[in-house]
Amino acid sequence: MFMKLQSKKGFTLVEIMIVVAIIGLLAAIAIPNLLRARVNSNEAAAKGALRTLSSACESFRAAQNPPAYPAALAN
């Protein structure tokens, strides 16, 4: 009686569960950081747009005689 030795191919259930747990842990750490970075980016873009609008309004006001802001912003 000769028994054939079979080589192990593939992963065990425990190995797969460990990998899934590690990926889940990394996702739990990374996703909030990515969302926070997105919010910070949107805030920075909004602040830049407000600075541009403020500068344009001041330029418009300085060019008027007598100085006045645009009518749509005066209300």
Q: Coil, strand, or helix at residue 10?
A: coil
Does the residue 22 lie in any domain? no
The answer to whether residue 21 is domain-embedded is: no
**Is residue 4 included in any domain, yes or no?**
no
Supply the range of the domain harboring residue 52: 31-75
23-56 core/surface letters (b: 16 or more CB in 10 A; e: else): eeeeeeeeeeeeeeeeeeeeeeeeeeeeeeeeee
Return the pLDDT at 2. Answer: 64
Query: Would you give the distance in Å from CA 34 to the centre of its chain?
Result: 5
Q: How many domains are there within the chain?
A: 1
Q: Is 36 inside any structural domain?
A: yes
pLDDT for 70 equals 82
Q: Per the domain annotation, does 57 fall within a domain?
A: yes
In a domain, 18, yes or no: no
Q: How do the pLDDT tens digits run along the chain, 75 residues long?
A: 566 666 678 899 999 999 999 999 999 999 999 999 999 999 999 999 999 999 999 999 999 989 888 887 655
DSSP 3: P
Identify whether 66 is part of a domain: yes
